[in-house]
Amino acid sequence: MTSEPPGALVTLNGVEVGPTPLEVGFRFYGQYDLRLRKDGYEPLAAAPWAAAPWYDYPPLDFILLPIPIDTTVRWHYEMQPMSVEQDSRDALVERADEMRQAIQP
């Protein structure tokens, strides 16, 4: 998986797996819940599919069973820079959280 800019933190199905670029082994074909975060950029959420290749459908999967085949799924995402308004809003929420924690007993 790659992203533009590189270094975005990847969360896959609720588990942080590391910064881009990275390779992650997968156990099933189907839809994944993908989240990307990087300071200064809008968070990105996607639901990409890892489609099964032609050789993984019956009866070919049974015929080719003894032959080890590696499957690679490539995803690339481009993140948008955070707008000034969103950045200001996030800073305001962060300050509010700090104030809330300061007044709690």
pLDDT digits (tens, 9 = 90+) for 24-77: 887 778 899 999 999 989 999 999 998 877 666 676 656 656 666 677 788 999
Question: What is the CATH number for 66?
Answer: 2.60.40
Domain span at 21: 2-103
Instruction: Compute and round to an integer the Cα radius of gyration of the chain.
Output: 20
How many domains would you assign to the chain? 1
More confident residue, 85 or 33: 33
- Type of residue found at 10: V
What whole-number distance in Å separates Cα of residue 24 and Cα of residue 28?
12
Question: Quick one: pLDDT at residue 30?
Answer: 86
Question: Quick one: pLDDT at residue 67?
Answer: 65
Examine the pLDDT at 18 and tell me if it is beyond 70.
Answer: yes
Q: Which of 7-11, 22-26, 55-59, 78-82 has the lowest mean pLDDT?
A: 55-59
More confident residue, 105 or 64: 105
What whole-number distance in Å separates Cα of residue 31 and Cα of residue 47?
6
Question: Quick one: pLDDT at residue 54?
Answer: 64
